Chains A and B, each alone.
Chain A
Amino acid sequence: MKRLKHTLIIIITLAVISSCTEDYDLINVEGAPEYCIDAFITTNSNYNSIRISKIVKGFNTDELNSGLEILPENIAVKNAKVYLRYNNKSIEFTITEPNHNNKYVGYGYYATAETIEIKENTKYTLEVSINDKTFTAENRLIKGPESMTAKLKKTKLEIQKDMAYVPHVSFTDPDKNNINYYITHMSDNQFDSYQMTVGSSRNWAISILTDKYLQHNIVDLKFPFGTSPTGTSWYPSHKADVTVTLFSVDKMTYDYYSVLINQMKNNGGAYSQSPGSPITNIKGEAIGYFVLADVTQTIAKANS
């Protein structure tokens, strides 16, 4: 009996040499895009930024993450020629050095001192030349809500079960006859909000919103905190002013961000949907997007 038990244990144990995982690095694909162009032009010049970087060929995140630099130098593209053209006007953007006192926290930013007029019914064309390659993109402005109000409400978070101060907003959609699309951003620091970068190590402060299933007069809508792979919410736990911003965009831009958000939650395995890159409006085998947005912003005051 003892021998049988011993034999059985060995057999069961051998069965445990079962499914296992191994790390693997990215597959080298010939002809894949090399550059990412992140162009964000809005009616609030504080948010205007164009950042150009290289695509990394591996999962080595050390290449992408060097200390406080949101975009490290080794992947920044510094020699691009960047122009924004509209109404026969051509505005040049030039490379700018990182400056921790403003939104240019990191390498690869291109900036301009000129004023950009963002208007409806105007076509805006972005042109980026890197070495012998040229990339272009076009976009038009979608008008957003005239104004927005916000107040903080103390709410118990669903997953963490902690209390947090959640901004609730009210505004009226600009177009009652069509669906309106927004990118949202939330920050407990107005200065930091201009960077539109990482909300925390655990979430991306950007989310998306559409009024497809909402009324046009929106009252007390819980403002999205951003996106997290785990679905957990990261609203501020202490009472402080919170800047909430709506960027009104077209459907194609909304879809671009929607796919990025889905990608954060999709591991691409046998039990997941086929992953894919979002459809860009940049022509010429680069990834990224040229966003043109109308900004509606307010601050949910701590004493509201």
Chain B
Amino acid sequence: MRRVIICLSLVIFSINIMAQNYNDIIIKLQKNEYTIKDLFKQIEKQSSYRFAYADPATTLKQSVMLEKKQYSLKDLLDEVMPQIKYKYRISGKTITLKRLKKVKISGIITDASTGETLIGATVYIRDLMVGTTTNAYGYYTLIAYEGNYTAEVSYIGYKKISKLISLKNDIRADYNLEFSSISISEVLVTAKKENDNVVNNTLGKQSITTDYLNTFAGFGGEPDVLKTMQSLSGVNATIPGTTQISVHGGSFDQNLVLLDEAPVYNPSHTLGFFSVFNPDVFKTSDIYKSYIPANYGGRLSSVIDIRTKDGNKEKIGVNGGIGLLSSKLTVEGPIGNNTTFVVAGRYSYVGTILNFMEENMSSLFKGLNELSNNSEINFYDFNVKLNHRIDNNNRLYFSAYRGKDHFYYTDIDDQSAMDWGNTTGTLRWNKIFSNNLFLNTSLIFSNYAYSYILKDDSQSFNWEADLKEYDVKMDFDYTAFANHSIKFGLETNIHNIKPGKITPRSESSNAIVKSLDRKSANTLAIYLNDEFIINDKLSANAGIRVSAINSGEGDNNKTYYNAEPRLSIRYMLTETASVKASYTRTTQYMHLMSNSSLGLPTDIWLPSDNIIKPQRASNYSFGIYKNFNKNMFMLSAEGYYKNMDNIIDFIDNSNLFMNEDIHTQILTGKGKAYGVDISFKKLRGKTSYQISYSYSKTLRTIPGINGGKEYAASFDRPHNIKVAVTQQLFKKFKASLNFSYSSGGLYTVPSGMYLYKGISFLNYTERNGYRAPDFHSLDLLLSYEKKHKRFTSEFRLGIYNVYGRKNIFTLMIKPDNYNVNKMTGKKMYLFSTVPTFTYSFKF
């Protein structure tokens, strides 16, 4: 018995010695970075242990970073193994390595208080150095490795959480993030995470959040999505003061504007001074300026992807507002446990305000006499959204929008009025098949309809036109492979266009019934995109989109095919600096027949056909990004060059109204645009700001226009400077100052007047040959938020154009109605100093 005890003790003692040796063995290192091969050599040299592992060739070549120069063997192995995705087991003097099993973690990230899905939220496992972001539906999937880790979940404006996760098999992990009571000044962020600008490999992508939107006051004092977008570098107004956008030298019809995936063909109210997007239902917006991922297509220059709120899952909420020019009301909340809703309406009464001022104040203020007193200028927006969770893997969304404008302003034309409006609807089904396959299927409807009414009794008529689009989209997210996020899908669209129909308004009218032939076109696109990590410095986003259109009937039937490769690469110079490059090929099949600088609501869209070829562009971009002081300061510079062909412009004095031969008014040719965007931002602290400068040129060469010589597009404004400063004054007071400067726009102006056959005519020289004086404006916004017992209110006082700069809106020549010999040139200025006031409340 004594012998047995002694033997056992010896064994135990031996085991203890061995265990102590494994923990106590110190490995000294000369440097912080080793290849596995060299590191294992060091370990084997400094200890008596030996390694055994499969797949030695691949493993040995990997490099690892080490923080210290001296480790215990245990600590060293614990630090290295996750980096090379292995686990180890010690048996005697042998360290056996085994590759970690891959596991997938997936789920949905939401706002803890409202249940809103968070788009672009980050899930990151630091030990493995792997991470991902949620897609447009709040869903993420991440390939990790078995083991115990801490997952860091973050989203700008929300409290970051760190959760322990034990990964043995694929798991589903949903996270709820709490909104952070961040200082109000932390709002000048155009990204979903702080260093997104450096890390993401989508060159030229920027995002707008609700907080950012609220730092800008559009015309009338209310935040405006498209006007706020113009504060981003590289995004300019075609005519400052309006919502029409030019991105990197493209015209306003070259932007694909999506509202919950549905295209919006005319996103402006009141001839361009408001956008159709109600800020109270706005959730987030991404704009792609340079690199456009392959799942988007159909326009040359940019994609503006706007998403609306899903609805508060926890309680009924009411918010609304009253302003000088418009008022609004939104109600949202849960229906049962699995459904949420949002219903919102907005109404503008601009015409009523103008009539009121003319009737009641014209005796006091001379200038008011010039206003009309029977104007009818109004618009409304109506949004509804339903979000239903069927089960953990299935969600249904329904989103609809209806908006309409009525415009009758006697100072412009007392004989005619216009009505126009958009209707969109999206029915969407999100399906999670497994941890690595997600599907979004959407059925989309979009209708843009417009009418023009001639009021004169003897020839009164209605002219109506509309464009209907029906889309089916299927988008798959597939993450079966480590470091790859694959998207693929298809999209098919049917376009049905009524270019114009005249009908008499009454029996006494002399107008005849006349109708332009309906047009239809079908488009189809399939795409494949892979966002992948090559190594810890290099990642890429590569894809291809193949699209086609078929339009016309009989002998006029025509089909076009186009391949659109896309590539964006990001290289990390350091942890806080990167360079990116991208190439994007885009095709546009729908063309806006608008030959005015601003665009009229009565402009029509036509598809490519046997005469109008698809427009195409190749966009080359390069960017450098650097963040300082823990992402408090951001500096970026992006350059681009864009080649375009088959771009459309119109002959001088073109006539598009009810023109059956509209092709005779169109000319096509080549275009190019190039420029650079530089921006510097400070994001945190009581004072936050962003300053940007961009230079851009947009040139066209179209035979038959300007004598075939190269000319600049009317929205070519080479220099643009934007400064936005937000200052937290006191606890509840915030001030925002926004300054914008741009080169003057281009106009085609006459150089002389002459008599021909007895009356005066104008001689025009080159197309867009005159550059108007520069535009600049300073806007101020003060807001005060007050928390009451049961609700929160906000007062916003804004001053648009503080120092009353007379910015030219347009140049016109007005022939005299009573003397054909007489003409006067008129400069029309946009608004001088305009104070605005809005009051909003939220329950």
Within 8 A of B (CB), among A1-50: 9, 11-29, 32-33, 36, 38
Chain B's closest residue to A36 (CB) is: B754
Q: A18-B831, A203-B820 in contact; A268/B812 too (CB < 8 A)?
A: yes
Whether B510 lies near A158 (C-beta < 8 A) is yes
Q: A20-B829, A197-B758 in contact; A59/B596 too (CB < 8 A)?
A: no
Which of A84-92, A143-151, A165-173, A258-266 is the interface stretch?
A258-266
Shortest beta-carbon distance from B455 to chain A in Å: 12
How far is it, in angstroms, between the C-alpha of A271 and the C-alpha of B356 when the chains are bound?
A: 26
Q: In this assembly, does A298 line the interface, its C-beta being within 8 Å of a C-beta of chain B? A: no
Whether A26 lies near B750 (C-beta < 8 A) is yes
How far is it, in angstroms, between the C-alpha of A159 and the C-alpha of B364 when the chains are bound?
A: 36
B588-619 near A? 1/0 per residue, CB < 8 Å: 00000001111010000000000000000000
Q: Which residues of A contact B510 (CB under 8 A)?
A: 158
Tell me which of A26, A159, A195 contacts B753 (CB under 8 A).
A26
Whether A264 lies near B656 (C-beta < 8 A) is no
Chain B's closest residue to A227 (CB) is: B820
Whether A201 lies near B818 (C-beta < 8 A) is yes
Q: In this assembly, does A121 line the interface, its C-beta being within 8 Å of a C-beta of chain B? A: no
Q: Which residues of A contact B749 (CB under 8 A)?
A: 26-27, 268
Q: Which residues of A contact B831 (CB under 8 A)?
A: 17-19
How far is it, in angstroms, between the C-alpha of A230 and the C-alpha of B752 when the chains are bound?
A: 23
Whether A267 lies near B653 (C-beta < 8 A) is no
Whether B820 lies near A16 (C-beta < 8 A) is no
Which of A128-136, A238-246, A273-281 is the interface stretch?
A273-281
Which of A64-72, A94-102, A110-118 is the interface stretch?
A64-72
How far is it, in angstroms, between the C-alpha of A270 and the C-alpha of B458 when the chains are bound?
A: 30
Whether B751 lies near A204 (C-beta < 8 A) is no
Q: Is the interface of A mostly helix, strand, loop or mixed?
A: loop
Whether A288 lies near B756 (C-beta < 8 A) is yes
Q: A201-B819, A229-B815 in contact; A55/B361 too (CB < 8 A)?
A: no
Q: In this assembly, does B35 line the interface, its C-beta being within 8 Å of a C-beta of chain A? A: no
How far is it, in angstroms, between the C-alpha of A17 and the C-alpha of B366 when the chains are bound?
A: 11
Whether A263 lies near B653 (C-beta < 8 A) is yes
Within 8 A of A (CB), among B261-281: 271
Q: Which residues of A contact B836 (CB under 8 A)?
A: 15
Chain B's closest residue to A264 (CB) is: B815
Which of B164-172, B333-341, B725-733, B763-771 is the interface stretch?
B763-771
Whether B751 lies near A264 (C-beta < 8 A) is no
Q: A268-B748, A270-B597 in contact; A262/B756 too (CB < 8 A)?
A: no
Within 8 A of B (CB), among A278-304: 278, 287-288
How far is it, in angstroms, between the C-alpha of A64 and the C-alpha of B459 when the chains are bound?
A: 36
How far is it, in angstroms, between the C-alpha of A181 and the C-alpha of B312 when the chains are bound?
A: 68
Tell me which of B751, B755, B810, B833 contacts A269 (CB under 8 A).
B810
How far is it, in angstroms, between the C-alpha of A74 and the C-alpha of B651 when the chains are bound?
A: 34
Whether B324 lies near A15 (C-beta < 8 A) is yes
The count of A-to-B residue pairs whose CB atoms sit within 8 angstroms is 238
How far is it, in angstroms, between the C-alpha of A9 and the C-alpha of B813 when the chains are bound?
A: 34
Chain A's closest residue to B600 (CB) is: A271
Shortest beta-carbon distance from A92 to chain B in Å: 23
Q: In this assembly, does B357 line the interface, its C-beta being within 8 Å of a C-beta of chain A? A: yes
Q: A19-B831, A20-B832, A202-B818 in contact; A271/B825 too (CB < 8 A)?
A: no
Q: A26-B750, A229-B820 in contact; A269/B828 too (CB < 8 A)?
A: yes
Chain A's closest residue to B770 (CB) is: A27
B356-373 near A? 1/0 per residue, CB < 8 Å: 110001001101100100
Q: A26-B750, A58-B753, A59-B825 in contact; A17/B595 too (CB < 8 A)?
A: no
Q: A12-B324, A159-B456 in contact; A28/B751 too (CB < 8 A)?
A: yes
Please indicate which of the listed interface residues A14, A20, A75 has the most CB atoms of chain B within 10 Å of its own CB.
A20
Q: In this assembly, does B830 line the interface, its C-beta being within 8 Å of a C-beta of chain A? A: yes
Whether B809 lies near A19 (C-beta < 8 A) is yes
A227-257 near B? 1/0 per residue, CB < 8 Å: 0111000000000000000000000000000
Number of interface residues of B (CB under 8 A): 82
Shortest beta-carbon distance from B355 to chain A in Å: 12
Tell me which of A13, A156, A288 contacts B361 (CB under 8 A).
A13
Whether B760 lies near A268 (C-beta < 8 A) is no
How far is it, in angstroms, between the C-alpha of A276 and the C-alpha of B598 when the chains are bound?
A: 18
Tell me which of B753, B764, B822, B825 contacts A276 (CB under 8 A).
B764
Shortest beta-carbon distance from A268 to chain B in Å: 5
Chain A's closest residue to B801 (CB) is: A17
Q: In this assembly, does B757 line the interface, its C-beta being within 8 Å of a C-beta of chain A? A: yes
How far is it, in angstroms, between the C-alpha of A56 and the C-alpha of B762 when the chains are bound?
A: 9
Whether B653 lies near A273 (C-beta < 8 A) is yes
How far is it, in angstroms, between the C-alpha of A260 and the C-alpha of B827 when the chains are bound?
A: 23
Whether B650 lies near A274 (C-beta < 8 A) is yes
Whether A271 lies near B271 (C-beta < 8 A) is yes
Whether B653 lies near A275 (C-beta < 8 A) is yes
Q: In this assembly, does B759 line the interface, its C-beta being within 8 Å of a C-beta of chain A? A: yes
How far is it, in angstroms, between the C-alpha of A53 and the C-alpha of B324 when the chains are bound?
A: 55
Whether B652 lies near A259 (C-beta < 8 A) is yes
Q: Which residues of B contact A201 (CB under 8 A)?
A: 818-821
Q: Which residues of A contact B829 (CB under 8 A)?
A: 19-22
Whether B748 lies near A16 (C-beta < 8 A) is no
Q: Which residues of B contact A54 (CB under 8 A)?
A: 754
Q: Which residues of A contact B653 (CB under 8 A)?
A: 259, 262-263, 266, 273-276
Whether B652 lies near A204 (C-beta < 8 A) is no
Q: Which residues of A contact B656 (CB under 8 A)?
A: 273
Q: A158-B459, A273-B656 in contact; A17/B754 too (CB < 8 A)?
A: no
Within 8 A of A (CB), among B206-255: 239
Q: In this assembly, does A198 line the interface, its C-beta being within 8 Å of a C-beta of chain B? A: yes
How far is it, in angstroms, between the C-alpha of A36 and the C-alpha of B817 when the chains are bound?
A: 25
Q: Which residues of A contact B8 (CB under 8 A)?
A: none
Q: A12-B353, A206-B757 in contact; A59/B823 too (CB < 8 A)?
A: yes
Chain B's closest residue to A185 (CB) is: B757
Whether A55 lies near B756 (C-beta < 8 A) is no
Whether A277 lies near B826 (C-beta < 8 A) is no
How far is it, in angstroms, between the C-alpha of A23 and the C-alpha of B814 when the chains are bound?
A: 10
Q: Which residues of B contact A154 (CB under 8 A)?
A: none
Whether A19 lies near B830 (C-beta < 8 A) is yes
Q: Which residues of B contact A65 (CB under 8 A)?
A: 821
Whether A12 lies near B357 (C-beta < 8 A) is yes
Q: Which residues of A contact B765 (CB under 8 A)?
A: 29, 32, 277
Q: Which residues of B contact A59 (CB under 8 A)?
A: 753, 823-825
How far is it, in angstroms, between the C-alpha of A300 and the C-alpha of B762 when the chains are bound?
A: 34
How far is it, in angstroms, between the C-alpha of A9 and the C-alpha of B360 when the chains are bound?
A: 10
Q: In this assembly, does B761 line the interface, its C-beta being within 8 Å of a C-beta of chain A? A: yes
Q: Which residues of B contact A161 (CB under 8 A)?
A: 458
Tell me which of A9, A13, A23, A263 contacts B762 (CB under 8 A).
A263
Q: A17-B804, A201-B820 in contact; A273/B596 too (CB < 8 A)?
A: yes
Q: Which residues of B contact A11 (CB under 8 A)?
A: 324, 835, 837
Q: Which residues of B contact A202 (CB under 8 A)?
A: 817-820
Please indicate which of the listed interface residues A16, A27, A196, A278 has the most CB atoms of chain B within 10 Å of its own CB.
A16
Whether A272 lies near B596 (C-beta < 8 A) is yes
Q: In this assembly, does B46 line the interface, its C-beta being within 8 Å of a C-beta of chain A? A: no
A residues with CB within 8 A of B: 9, 11-29, 32-33, 36, 38, 53-59, 61, 64-65, 70-71, 75, 156, 158-159, 161, 195-198, 201-204, 206, 228-230, 259-260, 262-264, 266-278, 287-288
Q: A11-B835, A201-B821 are in contact. List 15 more A-B contacts (CB 8 A).
A: A9-B361, A16-B367, A19-B830, A21-B827, A24-B827, A27-B751, A55-B752, A196-B757, A202-B817, A203-B820, A229-B815, A268-B748, A274-B714, A275-B813, A276-B652
10 A-B pairs closest in CB distance: A276-B652, A197-B758, A270-B810, A55-B752, A29-B751, A269-B812, A262-B653, A32-B751, A273-B595, A36-B754
Q: List 16 A-B contacts (CB under 8 A).
A: A18-B834, A19-B809, A22-B827, A22-B829, A23-B826, A23-B827, A25-B825, A26-B753, A32-B763, A159-B456, A196-B758, A201-B818, A260-B756, A275-B762, A277-B762, A278-B652
B residues with CB within 8 A of A: 239, 271, 324, 353, 356-357, 361, 364-365, 367-368, 371, 456, 458-459, 510, 595-598, 600, 650-656, 714, 747-765, 767-770, 804, 809-837
